Amino acid sequence: MRQRRNVLWGVIAAGVAAAWLLLTLEVLPPGIADVLGRAWSAVLVLLGFSLLLRNRLPLSGVIAIVLTGVLVAGVAVTAYSTRAGQPRDDLVQPIQQRVGAGVSLMQVNLALLTTTLEIELAPPASIEGEFIGSQQSSVTVDYIEDNAGRAVLTITETKPEGLPPLEAVGRGALRLTLPPDVPLDIAFTGVAGNATLNLGGMAVERLNLDLQSGDALVTLPEYEPRSQSVRDDPGTLRARSGNLTLFIPANVAAQLELETGSRSAPQFDSTRYDYIGGALLQDRRYATSDVAIKLAYVVAAPAGALTIETTP
C-alpha cells in the first residue's frame, strides 16, 4: 500500500512540475494556460481526497485523481458559462459612415455571435453605431459604394478558435442606426442574443432575420417595398429558439406566412387578422384597396411564442 502511495505522489509531483514548466515556457494555448493557472488549489483538493479515501477503497489514489478532475472541470464550465452570459465593455468600437447622395439601395449584412442587436433610425445620409463587447470578439465593418447606386454595409463578429482566457469571455452589444432616406435590404444572422429592430421611418425593401437563440422584437415601417423581386420573394423572420414579436403599424396590411413546426399558435388580434388553415395570418384589408401599404413576410418561432401587435 505504501508503495502505491509513493507511486501516486510521484505521478502528482511529475504532473505539477510538467504543468509549471509548460506555463513558464508559454507553449500552451491561452485558454488552457489560464485554466491551469487558476487550478493550482486543486492540488490541495487532491490531497484531501487522498487522505479521506486512503485505506477505505481500492485504487483510492486513482479515484481521488478522477474526483479532483471532475470537480475542476465542473468549476471551469460553471465559470465560463457564467462569464459568457455577462455583458462586457472591454472592447469599444465606434461605427460612423456617411452615405453618398447617389445611393439608391443599401444592402446591410449583419453576422453576430453572442451579441445583442439594436437597430434604430439615424439622421439622413448617415450610419452610426457602436459595438461594445469582450476582448474575445473581433468586429469587422466594411462599407462600399459602386457606380450603379448600390451600397453594401457588412458587419461581422468573429472569435478565435479554441478555449479563450476567462477574462476574454463575455456577451457583446451592437447598436446601429440606419438612414431614413435610402432603401434598405437587411439580412441579420445571430447565434445568441436578443434582437430589437426599430425600423419605423426606414425604407425597408426586404428584411431577413435568423436568430438561433434569443428573442426578437421587430417594428415594421410604414413603407411598401417597390421592387418586384421583393414582392415575389418576401423576407423571412425566424427566431429558432426564442420569442418573435412583430409590431405592425395600424395603416399597414400584412400577410404573414407561418412556417410549420411551431409549438404554439400565434397570438394576434382576431378582429384584424384571419387565421387561415393554421399556416397564414392575413390582415382583412390585405386583399382590398382599403390601405395603401401592404407587407408580406414568412415568420417562424418554432420553440417560442409568435406575437403580432399593432402600433398607432
The predicted pLDDT at position 221 comes to 96
pLDDT tens digits for range 95-105: 999 999 999 99
What pLDDT was estimated at residue 135? 84
36-48 per-position pLDDT tens digit: 666 666 666 777 7
Q: At what angle do helices 30-38 and 2-25 cross, to 10 degrees?
A: 130
State mean pLDDT over 197-220: 97
| Amino acid present at 53 | L
Reported as a single tens digit per residue, the pLDDT across 11-21 is: 666 666 666 66
Per-residue model confidence as pLDDT tens digits over 48-97: 777 777 766 666 667 777 877 787 777 777 766 776 677 888 899 999 99
pLDDT digits (tens, 9 = 90+) for 237-291: 999 999 999 999 999 999 999 987 777 889 999 999 999 988 999 999 998 877 8
In single-letter form, the type of residue at position 226 comes to R
The pair phi, psi for residue 40, each rounded to 5°, is: -60, -30
Question: Within 13 A of 41's CA, how many CA atoms are on the CB side?
Answer: 4
Q: What is the DSSP letter of 32?
A: H
Residue 40 grid cell = 493550482
Q: pLDDT-derived band of residue 4, with 50, 70 and 90 as boundaries?
A: low
| Average pLDDT of the residues in 226-243 | 87
Tell me the domain boundaries of the chain.
2-84, 91-311
Mean of pLDDT over the chain: 86
The predicted pLDDT at position 262 comes to 73
Task: Identify the H or E element spanning 37.
Answer: helix 30-38
